[in-house]
Amino acid sequence: MTSKLESTVALVTGASSGIGRAAALRLAEEGASVVLVGRRAARVREVADLVTRQGGKALAIPADVTVADAAASVVRDVVETHGRLDIVVNAAGAMLNGDSIRATLDEWDQMVDVNVKGTMYVVKAALPHLLEAAESAERQVADVINISSVAGRVATAGVAIYNASKFGVTAATEAWRQEFGDRNLRFSVIEPGAVDTELFGHQQGHAQEAENQRFEGVEKLHPEDIADAVAYIATSPRRRAINEIVIRPTDQNF
């Protein structure tokens, strides 16, 4: 049986861990050649090696997509190596929540840089190649899948800048969807609730305690749950565009 994404090339940011890692592995299972991008060189190479051992095709490109030139260089390298780009998954993320008085501007800047600017820089660089793929590829469609959050739908005390960054991702994705849908370039946003990733451990100590209390008794999602949604979007036939997916743990009622 032919894999649904055979002959496609997928670029995944934040691929060293969590949702990005799971998404890259899942897309490789579907037959895509995956390009794994992340700041932690050793970690991205480990994931690429895992894809290869499992019979897939992978290329690791260590890079910081919060730097516009670096993001553009990544896209350029992908196209020079593979000759095309069909799918982009923006999964790089930063979550540094906590009391706004105690928070530093560096923490706030980091969330905006990673969540908003990183997504923006990758999309800007990838657009011409994605549109070319949508026009010329056998699938007759290309995809950008942005990982937002339920925090991009509902604001919460202590989460102001993370809320702002994820609301921005959700809004930009919808605007791009309207702009490029008639050219067969689909933009989709996935908004997960609590996912068991290392992001929770990056927050201020008091914020971690508050989050632990808030999510007490909640069985968090696994990164693979979000990767399944990524695969569902990317393998959908051209006629079907999945604009938005919200995924919460069954126990999460907020």
Q: Which are the catalytic amino acids?
A: 162
Sheet holding 87-90, edge to edge: 57-62, 33-38, 9-13, 87-90, 142-147, 185-192, 244-247
Give the containing element (helix H, strand E) for 252.
none
Tell me how far apart the terminal alpha carbons of the chain are, to the nearest angstrom: 41
Give the containing element (helix H, strand E) for 147.
strand 142-147
Give the containing element (helix H, strand E) for 235.
none
192 phi, psi to nearest 5 deg? -80, 150
- Classify residue 77 as exposed, middle or buried by CB count within 10 Å of its CB (0-12, 13-18, 19+): middle
Asked if 190 and 90 count as a contact pair (C-beta separation under 8 A), the reply is: no
